[in-house]
Structure 1
Amino acid sequence: MAWFAVRSIFLFDARAEGEDDTYEERVRLFDAADADAAIARSEVEAAEYAADHDDCTALGFHQSFHLFDQPGDGAEVFSLMRDSDLEPDGPVLRHRGRAGAPGRVSRPPPRRAQTAVRRCAVGR
């Protein structure tokens, strides 16, 4: 068994109230045999979560990440790497900052020439 973090996306439909819909991204930890088993458990949990919340729909998006470390203080629980030609001080950080979650950009983004990219395989 190994630890996997699985990211799932949910829709909270607020159109009936004349408001914008809300999308929630949740990351849950699962002790599972492999990425497929972790995603299968996430699908079950997501259906239960959606059923417990009014106007909530599980969108069927589940993305797994195999933890390199045991869960604990400071352990990496999710990482997603994407290729992009966007500059780091442009829309990438502005888009991520709009989610309404507590956070901050703690240092200026690195210049493209100084950025090293490590490619790794992420489950499903």
Structure 2
Amino acid sequence: MVVQSPLLPNHQHLSDMRWHTLLFYQEERSSLYMLLVDNTTVVTESGAPPSAPLVRSGFRGCLAGFRLNDQAIDVYDDSEDKKDVVRGCSGPLARCSPGACSNRGRCIQQWNSIRCDCTLTAHAGDRCQDG
């Protein structure tokens, strides 16, 4: 199964710098599987999961309480390649705040930075300051 977009049915993103609860469930000896995000069903499928290309960029974020078949998994200890895998979780270095984007630009939180979306304004620039 592949969730091709981090956009949930209620138009929220998984990449919103908040904790989310994900549950992947597959019925034993069945081809029925389901993905729930924050107690909302996102995907329900039967049959073989679709094939997908390899992910080119890995997961970026924090994991807590990771379990597989009701067994706790230590992602750090179980990582074969520990490059960029660290214990603990630190938040972003920069955060969206009031006034981060000028001229009614919309601030978009990214992992280590912010980005301003100026598309609904008559302005441009990193912080919608030009124009």
Alignment TM class, shorter chain as reference: under 0.3
Q: Structure 1 or 2: larger strand share?
A: 1
Asked which structure has the greater RCO (Cα within 8 Å, sep 6+), the reply is 1
Larger Rg belongs to: 2
Q: Structure 1 or 2: larger helix share?
A: 1
